Amino acid sequence: MPLATDDFLDIDDVTPAELDALLDRAAAMKAGETDPRLADATLGMIFEKPSTRTRVSFETGMTRLGGHAMFLGPDDIQLGHGEPLRDTARVLGRYVDGVMARLFDHADVEVLAEYADCPVINGLTDEAHPCQTLADLLTIRETVGEDATVAWVGDGNNVGQSFVVGAAMAGIDVEVATPADYGMNQSVFDRAAEFGLDVAPTTDPEAAVEGADVVYTDVWISMGQEDQREEKLAAFDGFQVNQELLAGTDAEVMHCLPAHRGEEITDDVLESDRALVWDQAENRMHAQNALLVELLGGA
């Protein structure tokens, strides 16, 4: 199903029906279905921050689709040396078939989308990580099913914000527990409500995980927040996903990775049978391949 949107900057740039179809397509491609539309296509990949999964899954994905992905790190292109983003965007749009960008400021990915005459995919900003959400929803569909309740425990960050909106679109129930000063933006809950999910955020992790089918967490100190380390570590005391928090639940555990063992999650939980994290990581590529063919491949 071709997508109505020109760009994928957050998960609700697609409709719930398109999201459902993308996940179907991702599952089919994971099972071996091929698509010829991106043969010889090039994806430019701008990274202002480090990455393992996003870089490798997009690059490998484009190779599998018969195309090519080009890594453009901060020191590799003139963007990192003073060329304005809107100029970079206009030039890249003349060469490549799509741009995937990992940037700090969400407003910058909007500038990229405005000026690049090709589809732009958000590979993580400080506000959103919709490609992660695609993989997360595929993982939930494959394991616990979409009638699940997922408890987000920890920082109200980019991964959590896109996940809550995407879960709402997929009909997944969500509980959110964050420290009071590190909650999600109210606009996230407003957008989730538009898809029929009313979230009542709490500061009590134990209340959030009660009855949950999945407990999802992410790092407490996101990329770019290193100077907040001491204050955040203090604020997140009690929010660690550990055996004590999970006791009395049958919950599976999700984490977008990279994990900081001993901070937001313990080593034994991450290494346990509860952990869906490796499926999540693999599903990044399958979900993004479906997105790439539908967004860059046209009708």
- Residues making up the chain, counted from first to last: 299
**Quick check: is 284 catalytic?**
yes
Give the per-residue contact string, 196-225, with ligand CP (x = CB under 6 A; - = no): ------------------------------
Among 116, 124, 208, 292, binds ligand CP (CB under 6 A): 124
CA distance 38 to 260: 36
Concatenate the DSSP letters of all residues of 144-211 into one string. Answer: T-TT-EEEEES---HHHHHHHHHHHHHT-EEEEE--GGG---HHHHHHHHHTT-----BS-HHHHHTT
* Choice between 92 and 256, CB closer to ligand CP: 256
Does 139 sit near ligand CP (CB under 6 A)? no
Which of 220, 215, 286, 232 is CA-nearest to residue 259?
220
Among 42, 54, 139, 217, binds ligand CP (CB under 6 A): 54
CA distance 140 to 142: 5
* Choice between 99 and 103, CB closer to ligand NVA: 103
Which stretches of the chain bind ligand NVA, using CB under 6 A? 124, 157-159, 218-219, 222-223, 256
Phi and psi at residue 175, to the nearest 5°: -110, 145
Stretch of residues binding ligand CP (CB under 6 A), selected from 1-9, 46-54, 245-253, 265-273: 46-54
Residue written as tokens 């996903």? 241
Select the binding partner of residue 158 from ligand NVA, ligand CP, none (C-beta < 5 to 8 A, by kind): ligand NVA
Query: 245 a known binding residue?
Result: no
Select the binding partner of residue 63 from ligand CP, ligand NVA, none (C-beta < 5 to 8 A, by kind): none
Among 256, 259, 265, 269, binds ligand CP (CB under 6 A): 256
**Quick check: is 118 catalytic?**
no
Query: 223 a known binding residue?
Result: yes
* Choice between 42 and 222, CB closer to ligand NVA: 222
Which of 154, 99, 102 is CA-nearest to residue 125?
102
CA distance 81 to 77: 7
Catalytic positions, written as ranges? 102, 129, 132, 218, 256, 284
